[in-house]
């Protein structure tokens, strides 16, 4: 089956970063991208089906590396039914792959969830967005900046405990959030990094020096920048100042207009730019659901008018990545081709999956999100099939 997709433009990788290829066409053969060219109406490639999006842009399918659940399912359930429901919902919002993200829980519950997620990740087929790896958020977090994570369940960084998590996950932990100032954190960061885990600094009250030690040990990203971090101080910028000032560091942002003021979204964009900014949702089980009471791990979360709280503390979001892109463009005046890297190539590069994710290129799976000029989802193709048709 040869399917031709024509569009106003395609976001393609270049040595300088993603760029727009105008008046373009993309050929899919048996679910794989067979070619990307400029369109010449007199010589379109031979095809069996033709989908035309004259005003739209073809983007790589999105990658969400920080999400706890959706449609009344939490990834800590660790079951195929839960992950399949989450994956189907995410695919409809332009996401082709994601990292199911844990929350601090009793050790046995975390081990159970990790084992269940590992079994699902290794399945050959997924109905919707594919879980690629696990983001371990907690339990190695700061007491002072734990956010909604349960105080009594936090743990000191421990290579022994991490090894139990790693073995339960069958090596599928790809990203870990940790507070670098806690005793034992630099050693655990170095150990996890040696296994290929990408380490992100977050839920942290770290000083500048403590943040720098975490980076020296191997940390390469920051978790939901601004949120659950020591406030910026002009004499000791702390983790936040270090994140904004360190060009090599990737950084997540929750762009829902609730977690971060638009003015600081603009500052984030100026600091991290199109090569290091990453948009995430931090979505919970309430995503895609009406206001009400939902669970994040084992914690009850109240959702009202888009705000998720547990005992008055912000507790994730109901944001979707397509809305995050639209919000970011509105807050910053960034163009679609500039910001799409924050939900495609940048999270792929950070997490070490750039060989299969984050770019439209020949011989890769045809996982494509079709965006209108306003950033709305016009279509989503996973392995060459339009799942919204």
- Parse the chain into domains and list their residue ranges: 2-59+360-386, 62-351
Q: Give me the tens of pLDDT residue by residue for the chain, a chain 389 residues long.
A: 899 999 999 999 988 888 999 999 999 999 999 999 988 766 788 889 999 999 999 999 999 999 999 999 999 999 999 999 999 999 999 999 999 999 999 999 999 999 999 999 999 999 999 999 999 999 999 999 998 999 999 999 999 999 999 999 999 999 999 999 999 999 999 999 999 999 999 999 999 999 999 999 999 999 999 999 999 999 999 999 999 999 999 999 999 999 999 999 999 999 999 999 999 999 999 999 999 999 998 899 999 999 999 999 999 999 999 999 999 999 999 999 899 999 999 999 999 999 999 999 999 999 999 999 999 999 999 999 999 98
Where would I find the H helices in the chain?
80-92, 107-121, 159-168, 185-194, 208-217, 238-245, 262-276, 321-332, 336-339, 345-351
CATH topology of domain 2-59+360-386: Urease, subunit C; domain 1 (2.30.40)
Domains 2-59+360-386 and 62-351 share a fold: no
Choosing from 74, 256, 282, 367, which is the catalytic residue?
282
CATH code for the structural domain at 62-351: 3.20.20.140
Please choose, from the candidates 215, 220, 203, 338, the residue with its C-alpha nearest in 3D space to the C-alpha of residue 279: 338
pLDDT tens across 197-242, in order? 999 999 999 999 999 999 999 999 999 999 999 999 999 999 999 9
* 282 tagged catalytic: yes
Q: Tell me if residue 274 falls in helix, strand or coil.
A: helix
| CB hemisphere CA count around 281 (13 angstroms) | 31
Angle at 158 between CA 153 and CA 159, to 5 degrees: 140
């Amino acid at each position: 089956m040869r399917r031709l997709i024509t569009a106003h433009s395609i976001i393609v990788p270049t040595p300088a970063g993603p760029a727009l290829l105008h008046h373009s066409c993309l050929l899919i053969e048996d679910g794989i991208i067979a070619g990307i060219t400029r369109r010449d109406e007199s010589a379109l490639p031979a095809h069996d089906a033709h989908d035309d999006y004259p005003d739209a842009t073809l983007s790589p399918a999105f990658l969400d590396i920080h999400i706890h659940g959706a449609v009344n399912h939490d990834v800590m359930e660790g079951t195929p039914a839960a992950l399949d429901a989450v994956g189907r919902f995410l695919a409809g919002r332009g996401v082709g792959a994601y990292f199911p993200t844990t929350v601090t829980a009793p050790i046995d519950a975390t081990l159970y969830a990790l084992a269940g997620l590992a079994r699902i990740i290794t399945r050959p087929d997924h109905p919707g967005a594919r879980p690629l790896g696990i983001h371990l958020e907690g339990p190695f977090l700061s007491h002072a900046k734990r956010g909604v994570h349960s105080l009594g369940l936090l743990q000191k960084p421990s290579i022994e405990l991490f090894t139990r998590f790693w073995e339960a996950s069958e090596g599928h932990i790809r990203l870990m959030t940790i507070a670098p100032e806690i005793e034992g954190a630099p050693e655990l960061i170095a150990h996890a990094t040696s296994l290929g885990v990408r380490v992100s600094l977050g839920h942290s009250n770290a000083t500048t020096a403590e943040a720098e030690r975490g980076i020296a040990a191997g940390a390469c990203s920051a978790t939901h920048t601004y949120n659950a971090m020591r406030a910026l101080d002009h004499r000791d910028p702390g983790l936040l100042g270090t994140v904004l000032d360190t060009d090599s560091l990737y950084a997540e942002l929750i762009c829902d207009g609730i977690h971060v003021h638009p003015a600081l979204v603009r500052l984030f964009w100026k600091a991290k730019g199109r090569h290091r900014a990453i948009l995430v949702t931090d979505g919970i089980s309430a995503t895609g659901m009406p206001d009400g009471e939902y669970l994040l791990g084992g914690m009850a979360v109240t959702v009202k008018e888009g705000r998720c709280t547990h005992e008055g503390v912000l507790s994730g979001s109901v944001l979707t990545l397509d809305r995050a892109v639209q919000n970011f463009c509105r807050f910053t005046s960034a163009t679609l081709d500039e910001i799409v890297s924050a939900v495609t190539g940048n999270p792929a590069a950070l997490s070490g999956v750039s060989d299969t994710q984050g770019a439209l290129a020949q011989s890769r799976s045809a996982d494509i999100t079709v965006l209108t000029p306003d950033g709305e989802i016009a279509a989503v193709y996973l392995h060459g099939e339009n799942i919204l048709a």
